[in-house]
């Protein structure tokens, strides 16, 4: 079930794994936030909170971290999927 979390004011949450699943990815609302630039100024970027819950009997935490890193790469540069 997918819902619009922004409509409820939810910025982030942690999902609970339901057996027989081994992991679940929860994605919060994207928000515009100021980020410092290299020249000392700032610009606004979209940021969102992503949480991966893993059953450590099945998936090691380092594998979960690798999955999150790959997810970040895809979200930040979706054109690379086509390469």
Distance between CA 37 and CA 74 in Å, rounded? 23
Q: Which two tokens stand for residue 69?
A: 């890193």
Give me the residues paired with residue 34 across strands. Answer: 44
Contact 25, 52 (CB under 8 A): yes
Catalytic residue among 21, 39, 55, 60: 60
55 catalytically annotated: no
Residues serving a catalytic function are 56, 60
């Amino acid at each position: 079930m997918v819902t619009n979390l922004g409509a409820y004011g939810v910025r982030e949450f942690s999902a609970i794994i339901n057996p027989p699943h081994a992991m679940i990815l929860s994605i919060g609302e994207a928000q515009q936030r100021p980020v410092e630039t290299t020249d000392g100024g700032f610009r606004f970027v979209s940021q969102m909170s992503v949480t991966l819950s893993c059953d450590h009997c099945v998936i090691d935490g380092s594998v979960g971290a690798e999955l999150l890193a790959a997810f970040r790469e895809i979200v930040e540069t979706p054109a690379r999927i086509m390469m």
